[in-house]
Structure 1
Amino acid sequence: MHHHLFERELVHLERVVACSPKEPFPPTYWRDRVEHLKNCPHEPLYSYRIARLSQLVAQLSG
């Protein structure tokens, strides 16, 4: 994934997940999107932000 697309996806998820959206998408949808970021080459630079997103998604499932 290109660096700018990665950053845009990360920012989008940070905004949306922070609002605790349980509908219309289930927490598994958000978890899958965050997991996808972990497979990108840019992940090491953003590991803190991705870990934070993972925690927020886990709280949605809570």
Structure 2
Amino acid sequence: MHHHIFESELVHLERVVACGSQKPFPATYWRDRVENLKNCPQAPMYRYRIARLSRLVAELNA
């Protein structure tokens, strides 16, 4: 994934997951999107942000 696209996806997920309980998509949808980021070559640079998103998505299940 191109760096700019990766960054855009990460920013989008950070915004949407923060209010994810108000959206019509289940937490599994957001979890899959976050997991997809972990497989990108850029992921190591953004490890902290991806881990934070994973925690927020896990909280949606609670």
Task: Please indicate, yes or no, whether the TM-score normalized by the shorter chain is above 0.5.
Answer: yes
TM-score w.r.t. the length of structure 1 is 0.95
1:22 CA displacement: 5.0
Aligned residues: CA RMSD: 0.9
Aligned residue pairs: how many? 62
Task: Write the distance in 2 (CA, Å) between the matches of 1:5 and 1:21.
Answer: 25
Cα offset for 1:21? 3.0
> Contact conserved, 1:22 with 1:60, CA < 8 A, in 2?
no
Q: Please state how far the C-alpha of 1:19 moved relative to its aligned partner.
A: 1.1
**Structure with greater helix percent:** 2
Gaps of 5+ in 2: none
TM-score by length of 2: 0.95
Structure 1, unpaired ranges of 5+: none
Any idea what SS the aligned residue of 2:24 has?
coil
